[in-house]
Amino acid sequence: MAALAILCDGVAVADGRVAGHDAGATLVRRLQRLFPGADLIGSRAQRADGFDVVPLELVDPRETVVVNMDVLSSPAVWRTLAAGGAEPRIVNFVWWNTSQFTHPVQRASLALSCALFPTFANSLRTATEVREIVFALTVPQLAERARIDWANLGIRLEHVQPREDPAVPVVLYPAIRLSERKQPQLFLDVVERVRKRTPIQVEMRLQESHLISEQAIRLSRKDWAWVGPLTATREDYYYRLARTTAFLATAREESYGLEYVEAMVAGAIGVFPDRPWARAILPDGYPYLYRDADEAEELLVQAVTDPRGCRAELDRVCGGDFVGWLRGRHDDTEFEDRFSSALRRWFPTD
C-alpha cells in the first residue's frame, strides 16, 4: 500500500512521540502501530521517533494516502494537495459523534466531505448517521456514490489486568471532560444520593483544563471523592479499571463508547442511560439501563452493594460469559483488519 500520513488537528509531539491521552492522540498512536512509519501532518517539519512530522504542503500526493481525522477540512486539504497537478488520495476517519455539529454550515460541510471522499467510521451507529447526513444534504449524484465503511474501534485486550475488588466500592466518572454532552451534573447528583445510602469512593480523572472547573473543585473537597489528572500510562489506566467496581454513564450521545467497553471488560459494572448509543454496545436484555435519576440511583446502589450478583446476572444475559461477549465484539484487531482492507480497496496499488 502507498505511504500514509495522518492529519489530526491539535495532536502534539513531545520527546519524539505523540503526546496526550485524549481520544485523538490515542487513535493517532493506534494508526501509527497499524501503519508503522506513517507521517503526522503538522505545522512544522520535524523528525520524531520512527516517524516524521510533515507540513501539508510538503506531502507528496502521488505517493501518500492522507487519513484525515478533521473531516470537515478534506475539501481544503484536497485543494492544497492538488495544486501540483496530482490527484490527492484522502480518506475521512470519523471517530467522533456527528451531533457535535449543529450549525447548518458545519453539517453541510460534513455531508459534502463524506460524499466526496471515502469515509471510515468508528462504529455502525456513526456510519449510519454519516450516510443519513450525506443523503439529506447533498445531491443524489453525490450521495449515491458515497463510499462509507465502518468497524467498532474495539480495545487492546492484552492490556486488561486481573480483577481485584476494593474494600470500599469505587465508582468511576467514565469520561475525561465535564462537557455538557456528558451531563456531569447528573452524575454528581446521583453519586451524592448513593453515597448517603452506602459507602463509596468516587474517582474522576480529567484533562488538565477540566480539573480547574467549579464542578471538579467542588467534588474534590468531599472526603469520599478523588479528582485528579489522567493516568500516566495505559498500564496504570487498566490497573485502576481492574479495581473499579462500577461506573455511571450519563452522556446524551456517544459515537461508540470506548471508555465504557474498556471498563466493562475490566470487570466494572456499567449503569447506562436507556439510549440507542448505549444499546448499540450492549447485549439484548442488558439489565442496568435507567430512564431517570431515580432509576440510576437504584441501579448504582445495586451495583456497588452486590457487584458479584450483578456480574452473575450479566453472565446469565449473555449465556454464561458477559466479558467474553464483549471481547468477541470489541476486539481492536477487527477494526485494524477492516480499516486496512478498506484502504486497499479504495486506493489499490499497482
Q: What is the pLDDT along the chain (350 residues), one digit of tens a residue?
A: 679 999 998 888 888 889 877 788 889 999 999 999 999 999 889 999 999 999 999 999 999 999 999 999 999 999 999 998 999 999 999 999 898 899 999 999 999 999 999 999 999 999 999 999 999 999 999 999 999 999 998 887 777 899 999 999 999 999 999 999 999 999 999 999 999 999 999 999 998 889 999 999 999 999 999 999 988 777 888 899 999 999 999 999 998 998 999 999 999 999 999 999 999 999 999 999 999 999 999 999 999 999 999 999 999 999 999 999 998 888 888 899 999 999 999 999 75
Same domain, 24 and 149: yes
Same domain, 177 and 251: yes
Same domain, 223 and 187: yes
Same domain, 210 and 107: no
For 175, other C-beta atoms within 10 Å of its C-beta total 24
Distance between CA atoms of residues 83 and 32, nearest Å: 27
For residue 50, give the CATH number of its domain: 3.40.50
Same domain, 141 and 107: yes
CA nearest to 24, candidates 39, 11, 6, 34: 11
Neighbouring residues of 301: CB distance < 8 A, sequence distance ≥ 6: 194, 197, 198
pTM flag (> 0.75): yes
Same domain, 119 and 163: no
* Residue 20 C-alpha from the chain's centroid: 14
Same domain, 183 and 232: yes
Distances (CA, A) of 282 to 46, 251, 285, 288: 43, 15, 9, 10
> Domain total for the chain?
2
Q: Give the residue numbers spanning the domain of 40.
A: 3-153+332-346
In sequence order, what DSSP letters do the residues of 58-104 get, joined into one string? G--TTTEEEEESSGGGHHHHHHHHHTTSS--EEEEEE-S-GGG--SH
